[in-house]
Structure 1
Amino acid sequence: MCQQVVAQLRTLMAPRVTAVLLPLLLVVLAGGLAGVASAARILGVFPFPSRSHVVIYSTLMRGLAARGHHVTVFSGYPLDPPVANYTDVKLTFDMSALAAVRKNKSMFSLGEQNAFFSVVISHFIGPTFAEQAFQHSSIQDLIATTNEKFDLVILADFFVDAFAGFAHKFDAPLIYMSPITGFPWTNDLIGNPSPDSYVPSIFSQYSDHMSFRERLFNTVINTFGRLFHQLYYLPKQNSMMRQYFKVVPDLPHVSEIIIQRTALVFTYAMPGVSYPQPLLPNLIQIGGIHVKPVKPLPKDLKKYMDDASEGVIYFSMGSNLRSAEFSEEQRDAFIKTFSKLKQKILWKFEEDQLPGQPQNLKISKWFPQNDILAHPNVVLFITHGGILSTQEALYHGVPVIGIPIFGDQALNMKTLENLDCGLQLKYSDINDASFERVVKEAITNPKYLKRAKEVSRIFRDQPQSPLEKGVFWTEYVLRHKGAAHLRSAATHLSWYQYLLLDVVAVLVLVPAALVYCVLMLCRRLCCATKKIIIKDVKKKKKQ
């Protein structure tokens, strides 16, 4: 191919021009061909029925496809419309498992559970959907095939570790991608320090400045989670992997696969905004990767917001929680407060009508959230505190009122409270007085808007965008064949070695043994001396 191109260039160019330009053109051509040759085949496995999670995962995969890599993605939410170099394989899930956990109540009922229940139930829900995904013919065909080859596997860090078997099958490095700021065992996976003294558990709602009681609970809940993960969850995942990857020869334990093959972990923390903590070079924070460039609003919505001289309040409980499932008393509390305000209200409400709807309130089953939050007239965002929503609010500098229900939502809202970018209202505390109080505080106290704008500037002030960072480090792993040089030696230490308990034992026991020996020697000397003295006394008495 190169020879044909060169021949054509020689015939088209004058000899002198060819002598000058041909070397440069050959460099450009070689670079282009090298780029095509280096295009990798990347497998993404995201078997969890949460659209918000897949938004994060698919954004990175789309970015990799745009770079010329060939990506294959297993998820419940294919891209619409499809894009080049991106092969979607749709997974379907039976949501009755989640309904059973909720006992057929609304999703709001999950907010009534304690932290220990949240740890346990998350370790059950994830594997339930992983098992369903394994039963799809497309997954089984990929396990059985001998014709496919992937250079990299990207796996959701959400209780689906059995799929790490693909990394062993394809002899490929593994990247974990977390849809949250990170689980305690995610840090342990790569040996990243995560002290319970100032790194709050996602199952808590603490800040990085904890009281003694909070540090005690944080240690207990994280220790409980780690033990449950190691002693119950991973053996179950290993059994599941062996059941479905039985055609793959020489399959190690799932723990061995993920420790030996994990090259990198992406977490959804926000540099400069999330609580500072130690970060190894192979733990990369890509919070905000899902925030897309702002698009023009529909004409009617734009006019509605442009004409809001007193500002706009946007209210949405995300994709998994339905505002229509608030109790009648809670809906009345919202409506009464909204009717007293001068601001216009946009409320993502899943039914066609809202009884008692005031004139300043507009409802819809869907709103373009990112584009709305970018509008200069938005003065407040009322949300469930999900990580996508809170990061979009911070990116656009909008103060927040959070009504956290489950998962990491309380922790996300605690972060915003500490930043003075918002307020938190417990679901069980919603009534006329409490809701009106927090709304009026948020829109009348200028510190919240001021701080939101300041944090937005911090969030945006990065050398790379989150997507550029994610793509760079993914390609870094590909270029360096798994980037083993980034892996910490901590992953090869047992827990007692990592905690230096063997060293502590030596430092305590050796001096203790020396002291004991000295004391025993002194005791024997004293006893011997005493016997000599007694013997001398008796001898003198006889004389």
Structure 2
Amino acid sequence: MAPRVTAVLPLLLLVVLAGGLAGVASTARILGVFPFPGRSHVVIYSSLLRGLAARGHNVTVFSAYSLDQPVANYTAVKLALDLSAQADIRKNKGLFSFGEQNPFFTIVISHVLAPTFTEQTFQQSSIQDLIATANEKFDLVIIEDLYADAFAGFAHKFDAPLIYMSPITGYPWTNDLIGNPSPDSYVPSIFSQYSDHMTFRERLFNTVINTFGRLFRQLYYIPRQNSMMRQYFKGVPNLPHISEIITQRTALVFTYAMPGVSYPQPLLPNLIQIGGMHLKPVKPLPKDLKKYLDDASEGVIYFSMGSNLRSADFSEEQRDAFFKTFSKLKQKILWKFEEDQLTGQPKNLKISKWFPQNDILAHPNVILFITHGGILSTQEALYHGVPVIGIPIYGDQAQNMKTLENLDCGLQLKYSDINDASFESVVKEAITNPKYLKRAKEVSRIFRDQPQSPLEKGVFWTEYVLRHKGAAHLRSAATDLSWYQYLLLDVVAVLVLVPAALVYCVLMLCRRLCCATKKIVIKDVKKKKKQ
């Protein structure tokens, strides 16, 4: 071996060793707690946490569903939650009735019932062991912005920064976590069906919905979460009120809005939009399915109601309405249907209990997507430039479809309005009017035109928080203000009361002067009469 090479080897070894040590030093231990049993939610948070694990971070996740495939550095702890109530709802076809509920009912029932999963999660031995341990240490805690606030206690226990992940574009109170401005005048609530251009009536109702939601959270939900946190974290010293933990330790909020596509709104530097993070590279289709799509010279319509809603639970009348319309079309139909057979189905209809949705929507022959309007499905459709017909049922689905309608990328059909005429009309409008496909392709180009992929953005900002020990410099002073200070009610009071007091004093002075002048005049008159 040449002398120069021999001399360089120790230096190379030092460089490699230093690089390895740097890698170890930059890795972090990350805790995620996601008690809400929603499969679509798992898809969202697991996308980020898998990405962090791939970067070398050690990730531990507690959730109702575990990953199908093991990932290095990723420990998934499955929660043994009682999901019998969900099963009963599905069995009785109750999920389809949710679309008829008003937003106030949705806010109340969700905040009253859903935290039962929080309670069940606390009762898991694995969670109790983690609370009791004195040996574990985590550098970051990530929780879902959905009935999981009590787990902010872990951020206090481990003296770690906290990140919230919203499974939707954002609840009315999501912005409040970090003091992000969210004017009701042009930021529609996900519980409404409004666009960012609202009439007076819509702005009024939007304000009422959001105010009601915030008040209900502060007066009922937050005290309940605080009570659970204190009950189960009772051995943790110096445990403050849950609101103080959230205010002081929340470093970032991730929302599943789509930059350039979702309604524009004010964004603080620690509110990051990562919509589309779940999107994966397109995979080759199974041979039989690829042939089915390739041979569809007139195009293909893909129909799926997501992972929670069952197409098999549509009524016979609604199913017949679908059949009558499909039988009149030249296009082929793919329908995610949860039963093995479907009586009376048209010849151009193919059913299956599962389809690779993202890969299907990427096929150039797919011209329309009929969906429930869930956040993952609508974003996949927009990413691949496929127009949508939405049949929203609950949650944020109606608002998602309103966004697509506003973009001219889709149409909405209420579940209660499904019949032969309405379904045929909306389908024919979607496939014959070229504006929907044109706009879907335009919006797809906008969505794809980003400096980073949503996953890269999510990973970057998570590591940013780790690098900067909670990134306190991103924190808005709004979180230190009381509600009346934030709304400037004290300033308004001064601006109103001080001038009012001055006017009152002037009026009283004038009154006294008038009274005094009047007395003088009366005295003069009496003197003249006596003379």
For this structure pair, what is the TM-score category when the shorter chain's length is used for normalisation? over 0.9
1:542: how far off? 2.9
State the distance in 2 between where 1:58 and 1:16 align: 46
Q: In structure 2, what is the equivalent of residue 52 of structure 1?
A: 40
User: Aligned to 1:459, which of 423, 447, 459?
Assistant: 447
The answer on whether the counterparts of 1:56 and 1:289 sit within 8 Å (CA) in structure 2 is: yes
Paired residues, number: 531
Using the TM superposition, give the Cα deviation of residue 15 of structure 1 relative to its aligned residue in structure 2, in angstroms. Answer: 3.6
Displacement of 1:120 in angstroms is 0.7
- Counterpart of 1:272 in structure 2 is 260
Taking the TM superposition and a 5 Å limit, the aligned residue runs for 1:93-172 are 93-98=81-86, 104-172=92-160
**DSSP 3-state at the match of 1:184:** coil
2:312 corresponds in structure 1 to 324
Contact 1:194–1:278 (CA under 8 A) maintained in structure 2:
yes
Cα–Cα, structure 1 residues 371 and 512, in superposed 2: closer, same or farther, change >3 Å?
same
Partner of 2:329: 341
Report if aligned partners of 2:30, 2:57 keep a CA contact under 8 Å in 1.
Answer: yes
Contact kept, 8 Å, 1:126 with 1:160, in 2: the verdict is no
The answer on whether the counterparts of 2:93 and 2:313 sit within 8 Å (CA) in structure 1 is no
| Contact preservation (8 Å) 1:102, 1:109 | no
Counterpart amino acid of 2:391?
I
Pick from 428, 442, 451 the counterpart of residue 440 of structure 1: 428
Change (3 A) 1:16 1:431: closer
Give the aligned residue type for 2:499.
P
Whichever residue aligns with residue 103 of structure 2, its letter is: A
1:81 aligns to 2:98 (yes or no): no
> Secondary structure of the equivalent of 1:180?
coil
Indicate whether 1:490 and 2:478 are aligned: yes
Which residue of structure 2 lines up, in the alignment, with residue 541 of structure 1?
529
Which aligned pairs between 1:498-513 and structure 2 lie closer than 5 A? Answer: 498-513=486-501
Q: Give the Cα–Cα distance (whole angstroms) in 1 for the partners of residues 85 and 2 of structure 2.
A: 70
Deviations 1:81-132 (A, max 9, x none): 1010000101122123446778944311211211111001111232011111
Q: Residues 538 and 102 of structure 1: is their aligned pair in 2 closer, same or farther, counting only changes over 3 Å?
A: farther
Match of 2:243 in 1: 255
Q: Which runs of 5 or more residues in structure 2 are unaligned?
A: none
The C-alpha deviation readout for 1:236-270, integer Å capped at 9, x for no partner, is 00111111111211111111111111000000000
- CA pair 518-81 structure 1, distance change in 2 beyond 3 A: same
- SS of structure 2 residue aligned to 1:59: helix
Match of 2:3 among 5, 11, 14: 14
Q: CA deviation at 1:387?
A: 0.2
> In the alignment, what sits opposite 1:394?
382
Deviations 1:400-427 (A, max 9, x none): 0000000000000000000000000000
Q: CA 1:318–1:188 in 2, change beyond 3 Å: closer, same or farther?
A: same
> Does 1:240 pair with 2:233?
no
Identify the residue that residue 19 of structure 2 maps to in structure 1.
31
CA contact (8 A) 1:334 1:432 kept: yes
Structure 1 spans left out of the alignment, 5+ residues: 1-11
Name the SS of the counterpart of 1:358 in structure 2: coil
Calculate the TM-score normalised by the size of structure 2: 0.97
Task: Measure the CA separation in 2 of the matches of 1:137 and 1:26.
Answer: 45
How many angstroms apart in 2 are the aligned matches of 1:154 and 1:43? 6
Using the size of structure 1 for normalisation, the TM-score is 0.95
* Identity in percent: 88
Q: Secondary structure at the match of 1:464?
A: coil
Q: Cα RMSD between the aligned structures?
A: 1.6
Deviation sequence 1:163-185 (CA, Å, 0-9, x none): 11111111100000000011111
